[in-house]
Amino acid sequence: MRSSLRNISRRNLLLITCSTLCFAGSTALADKNSSGKIPIDELMAANALPDIIEGNASAPITIVEYASMTCSHCAAFHHDVLPELKKNFIETGKIKFILREFPLDPLATAAFMLARELGDKRNAVVDLLFLQQKNWAFTEKPLDGLANVLKQTGMGQERFEAILKDQILFDKINKIRDRASEKFGVNSTPTFFINGDKYTGEINYADFEKIIAAKSSK
């Protein structure tokens, strides 16, 4: 999948139809146990684009999620689980949360590009796109659907198309994915690293609570 994505140029983004989508890389339920560990310094090393941190940057627990905008399991996490994590752990300073781009297909890359261009609103736009995923990712004309959703943020068609022509941004998004694949063994979404421990697949809130409690006691 990585090699096929790498060969897609910025022009192709404007020609995407739903037939180009590939969801085979997504996974369902996570193994409740960590499947490996990455040293936190290596995990937090500088990426092609800067991390956008939610919560207290000095929080003792760090959750890094690698997600794809076209992954239904990622959408479920952002809709059903992340709000509770924000209320009980992120906003209280107990954990910091970082979403990193791991597009499984060109449409996901396009969505991440558009979200990144909105600066400090990136995370809010990601949440919006996940919430309305069915209105753009699974339609016959996904880019039209994506443009319609982003009109809610004030983004016009001219800016929308200009962002999708940004080859530098396109390459940086995919460099984040490639680094995660090559350095950390990420090959599906969502994949979480909790203080460096790797969990692959969807995790419910109760299991996050248990994992966080275990790490807080160390």
What digits encode the pLDDT tens for the residues 113-159? 999 999 999 999 999 999 999 999 999 999 999 999 999 999 999 99
Which whole number is the average pLDDT over 46-64? 97
pLDDT more than 90, % of the chain: 82
Cα–Cα distance for residue pair 6/175, rounded to 1 Å: 10
**28 pLDDT above the threshold of 90:** no
- Assign residue 92 the CATH number of its domain: 3.40.30.10
Which amino acid would we find at residue 130?
F
| Predicted pLDDT at 147 | 97
CB 112 within 8 A of CB 101: yes
| Predicted pLDDT at 25 | 43
Count structural domains, the chain. 1
Alpha carbon 186 to chain centroid, angstroms: 12
- 79-107 pLDDT, tens digit per residue, is 999 999 999 999 999 999 999 999 999 99
Indicate the range of 29-43, 64-78, 124-138, 203-217 predicted with least confidence. Answer: 29-43
Helices marked H in 16-105: 40-43, 72-76, 82-85
Please count the other Cβ atoms lying within 10 Å of the Cβ belonging to residue 190: 27
Please count the other Cβ atoms lying within 10 Å of the Cβ belonging to residue 157: 11
State which residues form the domain around 101: 2-17+25-216
Cα–Cα distance for residue pair 208/168, rounded to 1 Å: 36
| Predicted pLDDT at 217 | 78
| Predicted pLDDT at 32 | 58
